[in-house]
Each structure stands twice: as C-alpha cells, then as structure tokens.
C-alpha cells in the first residue's frame, strides 16, 4: 500500500530562521550583557554627553552607538534593556497563556454555566481601555517588574480566552471527541489529551504574539515612566528620553526603537513559523 | 436471562428548539425519538434504516449513551444504563464501541495510528498493548508499518479501517456502525463491508448498522429496523422485510432503490 501521502516533506521556513535568529541573538545579548556592554549602563559622564555613533564625525571609541544627554552609553543601555524586555515577554507571556487558555478551554468544552461566567467576565474586561487599565494597576501596586507582569497578565488573558474558547467549541463538536467518550475517556482527559493538542498551534501563535505585546506594553509603561525604577535602562524609557532630544541626537531614540521593532516583529513571525511546524498536516 | 443484548423500552429523546425560543421561558422541544421499544439479540446484525432526519443516528448515539436520554429504559446485558452517569458508564464503555461515519473527523488528527488504537486499551487497563494494537491492525488488514502514520497520510478506506481497528481493539460485544460506508467509493465500500462481515462472525459481535443505503443493509444485516420520524415502522428479518414489507413506508423506501434497468437499444 505505497502511496505518496506519507512521503511529502516540507522545506524549512526562512521566516522561522530569521525571527528565531534575531531572538536568539537578543537572548544571548541579554544573558551576556555584563560581558558585551562596553560601558556601565548607569554611568553618567557629562563630558561625554551626546556623542554620535561610531561612523559619524566626533564619535569616541568605546561608545559604538553614541551616548545620551547624560553621557550614558546607548549600546550598553540597549543590551541591559533587553533583559527587562525578555523577562517580561517570557514570564508575562506564559502566565497570560496558561490562565487565558485554561479558562478558554473550560468555557469552550464544558459550555453551560462555566461558559456563562467566563464569557461575561471577558465582556466586562474588554470594556476597559487596556493601557489605562495597566497604568491604573501599576499606580495601585507600585512600579517594579512584578507589577508590570501582573498588569499584563490581568489585562491580556482575555485575548487567549476568547480565541481558545471558540476553538475548543468547534473542536468539541468533532467526532473524535465523541470517539474518545466512547473509548471511555473522562471530561478532563478529553480536554488535555484530545482537544489541547489540536488547539496547540493556535496557542503557540497567540503566545508568541502575546510576548511581542508584552514587550510593547513594557515599553509603553517605560515611556510613561511606570516601568521599573527610572534609572534602570528599559527600551521604553530610552525612547522617552530620546524623544526629547530627537533634533540634536537622533541615535538615542532610533537604536532602542529599531531593537524594539525587530523584537516584536520577530515574535509574531516566530509564531506563524512555529504554527506550520507543529501542524502534522502541513509538516 | 434472555438472549437479548439490548432491551429498549419506550425510549424518548427531544432537543430544545432554540430557533423558536421565546424571550422568556424555555424553548419548545422537538421530539426526535417518540417512545421506541425493541430488542437486539446477541450475535444479531441489525440494520437501522430510515430517511434523513428519521432519528436513526440519534437512536444509535442514545443507545450507547453518547446522548442523554429523556425517559425510557435501555438495558445492556441486563443492566439499566439509561440514567447512569459518566463515571458509572466507564466500565461498560469497553463493551460497546462505535465506528463513525467520517473517519477524518473521528480520528484525532494529531495522534498516530498506533496511539489512536492504543487509546481505548490504555483507558481500560489492558496489558500487552503493543501486541494488541498489532493484532487489531492485522485483523482489519492494514500493514504494521502504518503504526506511525497520521490520519491525513491515509486514504479514506484505510482511515475507516483504523476506525474499525480502534473499535474492535477492546474486544467489545456490541459495535454501532453509523453510516460507515457512506463516505467511501464503491470498491472501498465492498472491502469494508466484507471486513465487517468477517469480524462479526470471527468475534461473535453484535452489530448495529445505521444506513440509508438499503442495498448495503440487505447484504449485511440479519434483521432490519425501519425508522420514520422517530417511530419504528417495521422490524423484521431482512429477507422477510425486503420480500414482503408490511408497512407502507417500507414499501415506499424499497421502491426508491434504483435498479439497473437496461433498455433495449441503450447499448447501441
């Protein structure tokens, strides 16, 4: 019974490699920031303020991407900023995913009153403007890494719950779920062993998107000075400082902005790439 | 004890009609099964036929308790199961299995063939699972190299064989086959029917065979039960029913079977 169905192989996805490559570089940069950074990210030197990046006239060696108005090295601050961004992306992203997807699966599979409660909760949540809600939460809890993560989880779990609920509903109506029931699997087993593997590609895409969003939210909070303490380098606070000096030192704004942009883009592209990779039909 | 595997008495089932639900109060109910009573003898092959919407699939799914029953009795091997909860049903699940119409949606697309067949075995605490999976595969005539394949890597007929292998792996007494050959081409249909026939005699199975295809039922089934709008119109030995139908509805159904009639001159 030889047929071609099993023989089809897919070639490697370039966007998976590009986005994965960038994030890999970022992870290494964040982990090895003390080794890689040419300067102390917090060290101020008013005599070396507003130095341009290396390839422009007036640059000084040791400050490859220039310095800001307090003479702090931009490259070093971008590297240390990656630490905050990645920690928030990983922890806030995963917590949001577990909470949101869990509630979504329960609502979508059990239906009935659990669905009623969770759906009403989602609707109420979505009526709040998210960024204002985050700022309000941080104002109440105080700034700091934990507050940022909690704020992101509390705000964004609905993004997972909505999508996964709908997905679980459509999967729950498939005959393979009835087949598992006939085989004698309990409800919880059906959710974990039958439905979860089938919604996993969606979860992965949402998770990587959520990591990108977490990076953006952290940057927004940094921009309005509600991230971790204002001295510590975060991309958001660098962008805020750079905005004020955009006319005479563009590099303070542009380099963290490019890094932020590439990181968020890579997260979303990684999700798309992984989705194809996880799908046995497309694999 | 009688030799009936299933004894069904006054089985009723209805669904809420949400399209006509008033703003306040509960929706009116659509009666799907209107008090059915019949027996299925051990070792019998029962064809359940009827037009679409006659309630044949609902009846099948209610019998093996995939659906909750409103009222009435279902005795399986002497045990009343119509009101049992999911936990109490679990030990009985091994003994009644089901083969689905569409094997593409009834086989979890993310599980390999081996895992699909092993699933029910694990749940019912069987030992030597690998050997049993291999045995089930060879019983349905699939090569063992299919163990690691995914459903989308199989053809329609092969998928349906995997569905059958999954159902027979736990050595059940009763199998419900819901339109199992409707989605297959004619040659696969014949192969799957031959396979079912062989399994029934080899394993001493009792088979409930739901179909709208009367010629298939005539070939496979010993007795036939005709369903029309949620009521049993006729139940008889297949040969008798096809030879001399008593109910008007059965006669209409039989008349609707297309027969090959070659008009003279058609072949040129």
The fold of A13-33+64-278 is MetI-like fold (1.10.3720)
Q: Are B74 and B13 in contact (CB under 8 A)?
A: no
Question: Could you give the residue ranges of the DSSP H alpha helices within A112-232?
Answer: 112-126, 130-141, 145-172, 175-183, 187-189, 196-223
Contact across the interface for B109 and A281, Cβ inside 8 Å: yes
- Interface test with chain A among B89, B106, B178, by most A beta carbons within 10 Å: B106
Q: For residue A186, which residues of chain B lie inside 8 Å, CB to CB?
A: 86-87, 90
Rounded CA separation B214/B226 (Å): 10
Q: Are A152 and A75 in contact (CB under 8 A)?
A: no
Contact across the interface for A184 and B107, Cβ inside 8 Å: no
Q: Does A2 touch chain B if contact means CB atoms closer than 8 Å?
A: no
Non-local CB neighbours of B212 within 8 Å, separated by 6+ positions: B49, B50, B51, B52, B56, B179, B182
Among partner residues A1, A178, A281, which is closest to B66 by beta-carbon distance? A178
DSSP-based three-state secondary structure for B101: coil
Buried b (16+ CB within 10 A) or exposed e, A237-253: bbbbbbeebeeebebbb
Host H or E run for residue B93: helix B86-93
Contact across the interface for A183 and B90, Cβ inside 8 Å: no
Please give the residue of chain A at the shortest CA–CA distance from B148: A6
pLDDT-flagged residues of chain B (< 70):
1-2, 260-262, 264, 266-268
Contact across the interface for A182 and B90, Cβ inside 8 Å: no
pLDDT value at residue A2: 47
Q: pTM of the predicted model, to two decimals?
A: 0.83
Q: What is the dihedral of CA A51, A57, A62, A64, to 10 degrees?
A: 80
Please give the residue of chain A at the shortest CA–CA distance from B62: A182
Rounded CA separation B195/A78 (Å): 68
pLDDT value at residue A1: 45
Restricting to B residues 108-167, those with a Cβ less than 8 Å away from any Cβ of A are: 108-111, 119-120, 123-124, 142-143, 146, 149-150, 152-155, 158, 163, 166
Contact across the interface for B106 and A194, Cβ inside 8 Å: no
The minimum CA-CA distance between B268 and chain A, rounded to whole Å, is 40
Question: First-to-last CA distance in chain B?
Answer: 63
> B31 is written with which tokens?
């009666």
- In the block, tokens 């119409």 appear at B101
pLDDT value at residue B143: 94
Contact across the interface for A181 and B66, Cβ inside 8 Å: yes
Contact across the interface for B109 and A182, Cβ inside 8 Å: no
- Interface test with chain B among A1, A171, A172, A184, by most B beta carbons within 10 Å: A184
Q: How many other CB atoms sit within 10 Å of the CB of residue A50? A: 16
**Strand arrangement of the beta sheet that strand B45-49 belongs to:** B96-99, B174-178, B206-211, B45-49, B223-228, B231-237
pLDDT-flagged residues of chain A (< 70):
1-12, 230, 280-283
Rounded CA separation B52/B227 (Å): 10
> A82 is written with which tokens?
């990656």
> B27 is written with which tokens?
């929706």
Rounded CA separation A238/A71 (Å): 13
Q: What are phi and psi of A175, to 5 degrees?
A: -65, -25
Cα-based angle B251, B252, B253 (whole degrees, multiple of 5): 90
ipTM of predicted complex: 0.85
pLDDT value at residue B1: 45
The minimum CA-CA distance between B91 and chain A, rounded to whole Å, is 8
pLDDT value at residue B239: 87
Question: Could you give the residue ranges of the DSSP H alpha helices within A8-111?
Answer: 14-31, 33-36, 74-110
pLDDT digits (tens, 9 = 90+) for A112-153: 899 999 999 999 998 988 888 888 888 898 888 899 999 999
Contact across the interface for B105 and A183, Cβ inside 8 Å: no
DSSP-based three-state secondary structure for A124: helix
Q: Are A97 and A153 in contact (CB under 8 A)?
A: no
Buried b (16+ CB within 10 A) or exposed e, A118-154: bbeebeebeeeebeeebbebbeeeebebebbbbbbbb
> A212 is written with which tokens?
């990108």
Please give the residue of chain A at the shortest CA–CA distance from B174: A182
pLDDT value at residue A4: 55
Q: For residue A175, which residues of chain B lie inside 8 Å, CB to CB?
A: 100-102, 105-106
């Amino acid at each position: 019974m030889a047929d071609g169905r099993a023989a089809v192989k897919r070639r490697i996805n370039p966007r998976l490699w590009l986005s994965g490559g960038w994030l890999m570089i970022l992870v290494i940069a964040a982990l090895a920031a003390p080794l890689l950074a040419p300067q102390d990210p917090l060290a101020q030197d008013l005599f070396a303020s507003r130095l341009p990046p290396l390839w422009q006239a007036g640059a000084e060696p040791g400050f490859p991407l220039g310095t800001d108005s307090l003479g702090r090295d931009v490259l070093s601050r971008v590297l240390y900023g990656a630490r905050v961004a990645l920690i928030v992306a990983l922890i806030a992203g995963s917590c949001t995913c577990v909470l949101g997807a869990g509630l979504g699966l329960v609502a979508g599979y059990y239906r009935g009153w659990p669905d009623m409660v969770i759906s009403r909760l989602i609707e109420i949540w979505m009526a709040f403007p998210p960024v204002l809600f985050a700022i309000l939460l941080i104002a109440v809890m105080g700034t700091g890494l934990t507050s940022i993560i909690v704020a992101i989880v509390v705000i964004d779990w609905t993004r997972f719950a909505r999508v996964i609920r709908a997905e679980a509903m459509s999967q729950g109506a498939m005959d393979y779920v009835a087949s598992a029931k006939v085989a004698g699997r309990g409800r919880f087993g059906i959710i974990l062993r039958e439905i979860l593997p089938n919604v996993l590609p969606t979860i992965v895409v949402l998770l990587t998107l959520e990591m990108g969003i977490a990076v953006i939210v952290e940057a927004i909070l940094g921009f309005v000075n509600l991230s971790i303490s204002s001295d510590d380098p975060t991309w958001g606070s660098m962008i805020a400082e750079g905005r004020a000096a955009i006319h005479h030192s563009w590099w303070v704004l542009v380099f963290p902005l490019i890094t932020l942009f590439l990181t968020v883009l890579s997260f979303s592209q990684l999700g798309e790439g992984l989705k194809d990779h996880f799908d046995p039909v497309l694999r | 004890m009688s030799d009936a595997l299933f004894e069904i008495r006054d089985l009723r089932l209805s669904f809420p009609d949400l399209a006509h639900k008033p703003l306040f109060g509960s929706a009116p109910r659509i009666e799907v099964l209107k008090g059915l009573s019949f027996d299925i003898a051990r070792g019998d092959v029962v064809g359940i036929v009827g037009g679409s919407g006659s309630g044949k699939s609902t009846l099948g799914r209610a019998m093996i308790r995939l659906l909750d029953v409103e009222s009435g009795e279902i005795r399986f091997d002497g045990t009343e199961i119509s009101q049992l909860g999911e936990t109490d049903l679990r030990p009985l699940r091994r003994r009644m299995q089901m083969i689905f119409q569409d094997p593409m949606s009834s086989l979890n697309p993310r599980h390999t063939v081996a895992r699909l067949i092993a699933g029910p075995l694990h749940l019912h605490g069987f030992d030597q699972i690998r050997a049993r999976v291999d045995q089930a595969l060879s019983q349905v005539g699939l090569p063992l190299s299919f163990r690691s394949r995914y459903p989308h890597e199989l053809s329609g007929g092969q998928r349906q064989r995997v569905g059958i292998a999954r159902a027979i792996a736990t050595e059940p007494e009763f199998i419900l086959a819901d339109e199992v050959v409707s989605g297959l081409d004619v040659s696969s249909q014949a192969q799957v029917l031959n396979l079912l026939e062989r399994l029934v005699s080899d394993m001493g199975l009792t088979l409930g065979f739901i179909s709208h295809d009367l010629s298939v039922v005539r070939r496979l089934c010993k007795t036939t039960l005709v369903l029309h709008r949620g009521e049993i119109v006729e139940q008889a030995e297949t040969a008798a029913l096809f030879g001399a139908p008593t109910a008007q509805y059965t006669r209409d159904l039989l008349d609707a079977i297309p027969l090959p009639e070659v008009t003279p001159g058609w072949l040129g």
